[in-house]
Amino acid sequence: MTVFSPIKTSLAEMGLADQALKSERFRELRMAQWSELEELLNRMDKRGIRSLDTQEILNLPKLYRGALSALSVARATSLDQNVIAYLESLCTRAYYRLYGTQSGLGKRIMSFLNQDWPLAAQRLWKDTAIAALLILISTIAAYLLVQSHPDWFYSFVDAGLAGDRTPAASTEALRNTLYTRPEDKTGLGIFASYLFSNNSRVAIFAFALGFAFGLPTIFFMLSTGFMLGGFIGLFASRDLGYEVGGWLIIHGSTEIFAIILAGGAGLHIGRAIAFPGSLSRTQSAALAGRTSGLLMVGVILMLLCAGLLEGYARQIITGDFLRYSLGIGLFILWMIYLYIPRRPKGLTAR
């Protein structure tokens, strides 16, 4: 066990002659502490914090502060560049260790689920509401247009995504696409993982493009809504409105919720950059980015659930009532989880 070494006070003890420079003596006196700190840091880098015993952990902040104070003294009194540069990089290294990310992964995950994610969602409720409104408006618009003229469908829905579900298909064929239960479940897994991978990229884009003043995000929300409205409109024009609702809601309540949250996060950043207020634009962006980044981790988790629901549950559960109750139930759960007010606990990493 290494014990914190006090500064040796007797110069003779160190074998220093009288003519030694002040800065030279200063260095001789403090050097042992610096190398002790360096040694601890090296050990932490190699073998983690567990390789330090209690005494060493207690010493660490003392040694760090000692090095910081030595740096101040050296800057004021020493003209040895090497000592100053050494202390700067030693202190920086110790600083990052002491003030860096600290809590363990398990603790972080728990705190994320317990409070960080819901709190981030609550803080961004305005932007989320705007994103939701954008999707709602575009869905209704596309729905009405497709109702009046089925050909509008082609301009709203990507051909690759639609597959067989186009106005050209017969009502019976459309109905079948909603309920077909594959003979064996081959392919469902691939489909689910593909959807998750695809959706999370879509959401990340909606978020990441937000910083172009939020404009691409708005466009993204609108086009998602158009697609949704187009689908519903097409099926509704064949009297399949209730049925397509079930087909969409079972995973859509989770997936579209997630996309709305991602859009909210994107808009939040766009807003922070466009209207930084009293902060500088970069500072404002950084501040907004931290909260929205947090929310985005949650969005990815939601999309994972949505992918599973879409790939598995929707193909397996074919009853309309069951689909509706599962979809709406999940929506209510998400709302309760995210928006029930909760008190921030203790020290949170912001």
Q: Which stretch binds other proteins (CB under 8 A): 169-177, 237-245, 288-296, 336-344?
A: 288-296
Least Å from the CB of residue 235 to other proteins: 27
Task: Give residues 126-185 in contact with other proteins (rule: CB under 8 A).
Answer: none
Q: Does 242 bind other proteins (CB under 8 A)?
A: no
Q: Does 292 bind other proteins (CB under 8 A)?
A: yes
What distance in Å separates the CA atoms of residue 220 and residue 210, rounded to the nearest whole number? 10
**Toward other proteins, which CB reaches closer, 68 or 141?**
68
Q: Which stretch binds other proteins (CB under 8 A): 80-88, 136-144, 167-175, 315-323?
A: 80-88
Tokens representing 266? Answer: 């994107």
Q: Does 197 bind other proteins (CB under 8 A)?
A: yes
Nearest-10 Cα torsion for 139, 142, 146, 151: -130
Binding mask 204-233 for other proteins (x = CB under 8 A): xx-xxx-x----------------------
Contact 28, 12 (CB under 8 A): no
> Which residue from 7, 22, 183, 345 is in contact with other proteins, where contact means CB under 8 A?
22
> What are the CA-CA distances from residue 346 to residues 81, 100, 115, 266, 350 (Å)?
43, 18, 11, 28, 12
What distance in Å separates the CA atoms of residue 25 and residue 21, rounded to the nearest whole number? 6
What distance in Å separates the CA atoms of residue 241 and residue 233, rounded to the nearest whole number? 8
Q: Which residue bears the tokens 């994103």?
A: 131
> Which residue from 29, 68, 169, 215 is in contact with other proteins, where contact means CB under 8 A?
68
At 10, is the secondary structure helix, strand, or coil? coil
Least Å from the CB of residue 103 to other proteins: 9
Reported residue count of the chain is: 350
What distance in Å separates the CA atoms of residue 296 and residue 292, rounded to the nearest whole number? 6
**Toward other proteins, which CB reaches closer, 111 or 325?**
111
Q: Does 261 bind other proteins (CB under 8 A)?
A: no
Q: Does 46 bind other proteins (CB under 8 A)?
A: no
> Which residue from 71, 234, 249, 250 is in contact with other proteins, where contact means CB under 8 A?
71
Task: State phi, psi for 189 to the nearest 5 degrees.
Answer: -60, -45
What distance in Å separates the CA atoms of residue 224 and residue 138, rounded to the nearest whole number? 8
> Which residue from 29, 32, 38, 324 is in contact with other proteins, where contact means CB under 8 A?
38
> Which residue from 65, 107, 126, 149 is in contact with other proteins, where contact means CB under 8 A?
65
**Toward other proteins, which CB reaches closer, 12 or 79?**
79
Tokens representing 231? Answer: 């689908």
